[in-house]
Chain A
Amino acid sequence: MLRTRIIPILQLIDESLVKTVKFDKYGYIGDPVNTVRIFNELEVDELAFVDIRASKENRGPNFEVLHHIADECFMPLSYGGGINTLDVAKKIFSLGFEKLILNTASFLKPELITEIAKIYGSQAVVVAVDVKKNLLGKYEVYSLSGTQNQKKKPVEWVKHVEALGAGEILLTSIDREGTWKGLDIDLIKQVSESSNLPVIAHGGGGTLEDIEDAVKKGKASAVALGSMLVYQGKDLGVLVNFPDKIKLEQILSF
C-alpha cells in the first residue's frame, strides 16, 4: 500500500531559502540548490517549494533558481508562488516540476485551476489553503502570503476548488506555522473528512508524535514539514535533516 508522504516544504524569497514564523518574520536558511542535494541524499518522498513573496511583490517565479532545483532533483517536485497565467504554469512544468501550488491565484483567477487541470490533470494542481483563526475561534482562509482575509470557511473553500479541478490541498495553519507547537489537528480533521482530495497537513510540526497525530487523528494523506527539517531544534541553528526512516515507518504504520 501507499506510504504516507512526508514532504519538506521549503520557502524561497526569490533566490534565497528562508523560514518564516506565522508567515511573518523570517530567518535565512541558505542556498536552495545545496539544500536540494541534501534532501536527494536523504531520499525524501517529495519536495515542495514556495516563493512566499512572489505574489505579494507582484513578480513572477525565479525560473533560473527553479531550473537549477529541478536539475538536481530525482523526486516529485512542486512549486508555488506568483503563478498567475497558464504560460507561467507551462514554463514551470517544462522545467521538470509536476505539481503547481496555487493560493492567491485561486481567488484572483480561479479559472487557472481548471485550465491547468484540463491540460496536465487534476493531480498536477495543488491549492494552498492558508488558514487563520479569528477572534471568535472560527477558521478563515487567507491569500497573499497570509495578509488578505478572504472570509471563507476552509471546508467550503476546499469543496469549491475541488469542483474547479484541484487535485490536492496543501492545508496550512498560519497560527502554527514555524512555531513547533504541533499541527492543528481539528482543522486537518475537518478538511480531510469533508473532502475527497488528498490533504497535505502543514504548520507546526515539530516532533514525530505531531506527524503521527496529523495522520492518525487528523486523517491527513501527507504531512509537510518546514522548521523541523531545516533547524537543529526550536531556537537552534540551521541543520538540514530528516527523521529516522525506520522510526517514521513505525509511527505511520496502521
Chain B
Amino acid sequence: MITIVDYGLGNLGSVLNMMKKIGAQAQITSDLDTLSRAKKILLPGVGAFDAAMEELSGSELRKILDQKATVEKVPVLGICLGMQLLTRGSEEGQLQGLNWIPAFTYKFPASHLKVPHMGWNYVKLSTPSPLTENFDKEFRFYFVHSYYVKADSEQNSILCTNYGVTFDSGIQRDNIFGAQFHPEKSHRFGMQLFKNFAKL
C-alpha cells in the first residue's frame, strides 16, 4: 500500500488514477494515524517551497514524516515540489527543507530559455537505482518547474536532464527518492517509475 500524503497541495487525483491503472494499491490521507502506519509514502506538491514547508512543519506531521523516513526507513518518493522539499533548502524560500538528501534547490539562471521549464524532456540515467529500472534512453517526462535540484554528490543523482543547465531530475539516498517531473502525467514512462516504486 502506497500512502499519498495530502497536506493541501498537489494534484492527488491524477496520482491515484495512475496507481490504479498499474494495479498498485494506494490511498490518499491527511490522517496522522494512517500515515504513521504507512509502509510506503508518496509526497506530492505543487506551488511555493515555503508554503509547503509551513504546511509540513506546522503540526505533528513533520515528526511522523521524519520518523518514517529516517528511523523506520520506509520508501519515500517526493515528486515535483515534493522532491525539492527533500533537500536542505531552496533559493525560492527562506525556510529549511526536510534535509533528507544532501542537495539544494536553485533558481534557473536568466537566459533565453523560458521559465518555468514546462513540457516534455528527456532523462539520462546517472547512478543506477531501483527506481529507474527498465528505463531506456527514449524515456521522457512532463516537467513544470521554475527551480531545479542539484545533489552535492553525484552518487545521489539517479537521473539528469538538460535545460540550459544540467540538473538532477531524479535523486536518491537509501530509502528516499525524488523525481522532479510529474510521473502521473507522463504516460507509460510515469507508469514504469510508479511500478518500480510499488515493487520496492
Q: Is B47 an interface residue (CB 8 A)?
A: yes
Cα(A167)–Cα(B144), bound, Å: 12
Distance in Å from the Cβ of A169 to the closest Cβ of chain B? 12
Say whether, besides A70-B14, A96-B17, A1 and B162 are in contact (CB < 8 Å): yes
Q: Is A164 an interface residue (CB 8 A)?
A: no
Q: How many residues of B contact A (CB 8 A)?
A: 28
Q: Is B140 an interface residue (CB 8 A)?
A: yes
What are the interface flags for A81-118 relative to B under an 8 Å C-beta threshold, 1 for contact and 0 otherwise? Answer: 00000000000011110100000000000000000000
What are the interface flags for B168-182 relative to A under an 8 Å C-beta threshold, 1 for contact and 0 otherwise? Answer: 000000000000001
> Which of the candidate stretches A48-56, A71-79, A155-163 sits at the interface with the other chain?
A71-79
DSSP majority for the A interface?
Answer: loop
A1 and B46 contacting across the interface, CB-CB below 8 Å: no
Segment 119-150 of B: residues with Cβ below 8 Å from A: 119-121, 140, 142, 144
Chain B residues near A96 (CB, 8 Å)? 11, 13-14, 17
- Name A's B-contacting residues (CB within 8 A): 1-3, 5, 40, 43, 45-46, 70-71, 74-77, 93-96, 98, 119-121, 123, 167-168, 196-198, 221-222
Chain A residues near B187 (CB, 8 Å)? 40, 43, 74-75
A74 and B11 contacting across the interface, CB-CB below 8 Å: no
Partner of B46, one of A71, A120, A197, A222: A120
A221 and B46 contacting across the interface, CB-CB below 8 Å: no
Cα(A237)–Cα(B2), bound, Å: 45
Chain B residues near A222 (CB, 8 Å)? 119
Q: Is B88 an interface residue (CB 8 A)?
A: no
Cα(A196)–Cα(B11), bound, Å: 27
Say whether, besides A3-B121, A93-B11, A198 and B186 are in contact (CB < 8 Å): no
A98 and B114 contacting across the interface, CB-CB below 8 Å: no
Partner of A76, one of B47, B116, B185: B185
Chain B residues near A2 (CB, 8 Å)? 117-121, 163
- Identify the closest chain B residue to A221 (Cβ): B114
Cα(A95)–Cα(B165), bound, Å: 34
Distance in Å from the Cβ of B12 to the closest Cβ of chain A? 9
Chain A residues near B140 (CB, 8 Å)? 3
A198 and B11 contacting across the interface, CB-CB below 8 Å: no
Chain A residues near B184 (CB, 8 Å)? 74
Q: Is B195 an interface residue (CB 8 A)?
A: no
Distance in Å from the Cβ of A74 to the closest Cβ of chain B? 5
Chain B residues near A168 (CB, 8 Å)? 118
- Identify the closest chain A residue to B47 (Cβ): A121
Q: Is B18 an interface residue (CB 8 A)?
A: yes
B188 and A95 contacting across the interface, CB-CB below 8 Å: no
B114 and A198 contacting across the interface, CB-CB below 8 Å: yes
Q: Is B199 an interface residue (CB 8 A)?
A: no
Say whether, besides A2-B120, A45-B120, A123-B116, A98 and B11 are in contact (CB < 8 Å): yes
